Structure 1
Amino acid sequence: MKKTYELIAPCHFGLEAVLKKEIQDLGYEISMVEDGKVTFLGDDEAICRANVFLRTAERVLLKVGSFQAVTYEELFQATKALPWEELIPADGKFWVAKAASIKSKLFSPSDIQSIMKKAIVERLKSHYNIQWFSEAGDSYPLRVALYKDQVTVGLDTTGVSLHKRGYRTLTSKAPITETLASALILLTPWKRDRILVDPFCGSGTFPIEAAMIAANMAPGMNRSFLAEGWKNLIPKKCWYDAVDEANDLVEDQIQVDIQGYDIDGDIVRAARANAEAAGVDHLIHFQQRPVSLLSHPKKYGFLITNPPYGERIEEKENLPELYRQLGQRFQALDSWSAYIITAYEDTEKYIGRKADKNRKIYNGMMKTYFYQFMGPRPPRKNNIQTSQEL
């Protein structure tokens, strides 16, 4: 019988509900939703499928255990009590790759890391009956989070973060991560039969992620994962099966209207190269165009964009005019909706209307807002057909 694990999927703060739905759509039971992470139940197959299919998770951690510790002795003993021999082979390379502490008595990452490493060594020494570990085998990095003295320990199955899809070799000045872009698209009512335009497309992340969603392309199908080497825990066949499943679901011959504009021609060329690397260049139209020339003849489209925030002082002077132009062009688009992530606090003022919804989201360490200006829903197709018949 397959073993069931608790798996932890970290995500951007404020986007837990999007990730929760993704995990449920994959068929797994949610055990807990907390700030910045979703915990769910799954077997070795779930580890593979979560890494390949999840668009909005940053990584997938196999939960080793959790306990309370207010002293380093408690941390040592509780870590040593965990069943490390069930997870790490005698030649495995293991270390605490990251330790984060919030509102806890133990707060030094380096001390937490070294004490937990010693505890694991002591446990494995007695189990394998050896005094020295070569650590010449596969890597088993740990990630540890302390919150209000509660310690949660997870093995990182992913390796390089899941936002690294593998397609973005060229980036613009202030790129939005692939996972965040996907989550923001999934927060909107956009579907692949609706128009999507990003007038500040930069390296193309919003259009590319939208095209991958439209074509049902799993974000991790063309990259590798750290746990692929964990033959003691996950049969290689599980990884092959997950990728085969992803390949079978791709529908890249669909008709979509996804467009990306940028004023910088070099950036547009970089976006095209990224889209080609992602395998969706045939689904996106990129063009060098300033926001002042933004237009589209059709109704009920979507603007989804990450405009400049004015990180540099000289750029801040240009923001009022830039956002005013964006607002004017948006108003000229008949029945469209606009979804804008930005740290610029005067966004509503220059767009010319109050957002219908506004969600605070941390983009890295920066506090940003996701302004949602909703247009009317298009009439249902069967209603159009009925009126035409009349």
Structure 2
Amino acid sequence: MTSFNIIATSAMGLEALVAKEVRGLGYECEVENGRISFKGDELAIARANMWLRTADRIKIKIGEFKATTFDELFEKTKALPWEQFLSEDAEFPVTGKSVKSTLFSVSDCQAIVKKAIVERLRKHYKKTGWFDENGPLYKIEVSLLKDVALLTIDATGSGLHKRGYRTGQGEAPLKETLAAALVMLTNWTPDKPFVDPFCGSGTIPIEAALIGQNIAPGFNREFVSETWKWISEKVWDEARIEAEDLANYDQPLDIIGADIDHRMVKIAEENAFEAGLGDLVKFKQMQVRDFTTMKEYGVIVGNPPYGERLGDKEAVQKMYFEMGKAFLPLETWSIYILTSNENFEEFYGKQATKKRKLFNGFIRTDYYQYWGKRPPKVK
């Protein structure tokens, strides 16, 4: 099988987590800002799409080179082996971005890259006119950073956060990739109780259940690279069989999602059902101040309202205070809260054991971590 240069893109702050997942699949990788690079065959492309919970998308790197003039961009793009990837009927739109580069006009760069690829393919396929582009989709991106052009083809399609189970959502839904990251950054294991007291449309509890039963997040969806002629159906079958074999559907789980809004609870139930987890995750309507439990050594993960809008501030501060009081008796529980509110600890009434900077979309947030007592060692 051919070896490809593969890139898993990542939200800022999650690179280390994506790299850990890539290594978990058995591939050595290099980590840069927003991207994790590794080498692999066709099966690696399918497996990365199928299994990476915290990556944004999978891309195939076609080339990288310095380009400070349009001529240079054209000639170096044309020199790349596009015919190895694009069939004669390929649909290949070109998108672009440019940061701190001499070639700052993105539309011009896109047009030049497109023209260079057409020239290369015309020669290979012995064609004189334009291509029909009525076949499989290959989304090409030219990304310029400090005069270095990176050319990639997107192998995912709809972003990896689109798992295919979300039938409805609230006002500010958490991306599934970030929800998975929040769970993976805790000390939770599938044998412990798990609670999300602000579950909204259920994304965090659903991602926890997928992690708990080792269900591949891409198992129930399709990817754009499934339509490519050079990745055989056999490769995708192999990736899906592996995912089926590694899923642990017998793992019992104790996962609860709660929300103040009964409509969100209903949406969360529908989403869990769509994910095939209908009986595994329990949802209920509840205010965080009413949370009590007799269970021990559980984990709470919450993405409460941040109070970003004027008028919400005081209500949110009061809710943080009530949350602190409700969680105070939970000495053996570990608690993890994501918020952009810089005074969270003050209202909650306790300093976090650890804080981690994360981005929820474009909002800079902190992940406040409160570690509970460890269970006694079994002799």
Q: Normalising by structure 2, what TM-score?
A: 0.97
Match of 2:334 among 337, 347, 363: 337
Match of 2:156 among 158, 183, 189: 158
| Equivalent residue number for residue 18 of structure 2 | 19
RMSD: 1.2
Give CA-to-partner distance per residue, 1:301-358, whole Å, 9 cap, x none.
1111110012322222311101111111121223211111111111111111221211
| Equivalent residue number for residue 94 of structure 1 | 92
Partner amino acid for 1:3? T
| Equivalent residue number for residue 314 of structure 2 | 317
Match of 1:80 among 78, 81, 96: 78
Secondary structure of the structure 1 residue equivalent to 2:235: helix
Match of 1:179 among 165, 177, 180: 177
8 Å contact 2:331–2:373 — kept in the other structure?
no
Q: Provide structure 2 residue ranges, at least 5 long, that are not aligned to the other structure.
A: none
The answer on 1:373 being equivalent to 2:379 is no
**Paired residue total:** 378
Deviation at 1:150, TM superposition (A): 1.3
Match of 1:148 among 122, 146, 149: 146
Match of 1:241 among 235, 238, 241: 238
Partner amino acid for 1:287? K
Secondary structure of the structure 2 residue equivalent to 1:317: helix
Partner amino acid for 2:361? G
Deviation at 1:254, TM superposition (A): 2.1
Q: Percent identity?
A: 49
Match of 1:256 among 248, 253, 256: 253
Q: Provide structure 1 residue ranges, at least 5 long, that are not aligned to the other structure.
A: 384-390
Match of 1:294 among 286, 291, 296: 291
Partner amino acid for 1:187? L
Deviation at 1:105, TM superposition (A): 2.1
Secondary structure of the structure 1 residue equivalent to 2:274: helix
8 Å contact 2:113–2:142 — kept in the other structure?
no
Alignment of 1:1-390 (within 5 A): 2-30=1-29, 32-96=30-94, 98-131=95-128, 132-231=130-229, 233-380=230-377, 382-383=378-379
Partner amino acid for 1:297? M
Secondary structure of the structure 1 residue equivalent to 2:364: strand
Secondary structure of the structure 2 residue equivalent to 1:207: helix
- Inter-partner Cα distance in structure 2 for 1:368 and 1:34: 21
Runs ≥4 in structure 1, deviation > 3 angstroms? Answer: none
- Inter-partner Cα distance in structure 2 for 1:206 and 1:237: 33
Deviation at 1:183, TM superposition (A): 1.3
8 Å contact 2:51–2:217 — kept in the other structure?
yes
Secondary structure of the structure 2 residue equivalent to 1:304: strand
Give CA-to-partner distance per residue, 1:127-164, whole Å, 9 cap, x none.
21112211111111112322211111111111000100
Deviation at 1:93, TM superposition (A): 0.8
Secondary structure of the structure 2 residue equivalent to 1:370: strand
Deviation at 1:102, TM superposition (A): 2.1
Give CA-to-partner distance per residue, 1:154-212, whole Å, 9 cap, x none.
11111000100000121111111001111121111111111111100000011000000
- Inter-partner Cα distance in structure 2 for 1:341 and 1:103: 32
Closer, same or farther in 2 for the Cα pair 1:326/1:108, shift >3 Å? Answer: farther
- Inter-partner Cα distance in structure 2 for 1:113 and 1:317: 48
Q: Normalising by structure 1, what TM-score?
A: 0.94
Secondary structure of the structure 2 residue equivalent to 1:241: helix
Partner amino acid for 1:377? R
